[in-house]
Amino acid sequence: MTLATPLAGPAPRATDAAVATRIVQRICPLCEACCGLSLTVSGTGAQARVVAIRGDEQDVFSRGYLCPKAVALKDLEDDPDRLRQPLAKREGRFVEATWDEAYAEIARRLPPLLARHGRDALAF
């Protein structure tokens, strides 16, 4: 399973991943306003990195406006403490897991939780 980050999105097919630079439109995930973003992304796949963030002037709601939270998205993306892959608790400590392992664990544990506590037991 291949997942794209919310900021970088799916990578186009390119012959030289290091050179591929593109602009993608996304929405800011930090609040309910969902401001439009225009991101300059360099690289492809797991090596894709956001190099610039601007407001998307074509967005019908935010019209290019960005609040300070959206401006800080690059800092969040580059934060050395940011989790970049799932962690699973094994033998009392957290260890790195694959996305497939994480989703399999969710699929295993979620149905009994919902059956016992109802749909209001889950929020995201």
Rounded CA-CA distance 26/59 in Å is 10
The full set of domains in the chain, from first to last, is 21-78 (3.30.200.210), 87-121 (no CATH)
Flag whether the pTM goes above 0.85: no
Going from the C-alpha of 112 to that of each of 47, 93, 107, the distances in angstroms are 37, 24, 10
* pLDDT, one tens digit for every residue, the chain (124 residues): 444 444 544 544 545 544 688 999 998 888 888 889 999 999 888 788 888 899 999 988 889 888 888 888 888 888 899 888 999 999 999 999 999 999 999 999 999 999 999 988 888 7
| 106 within 8 A of 90, measured Cβ to Cβ | no
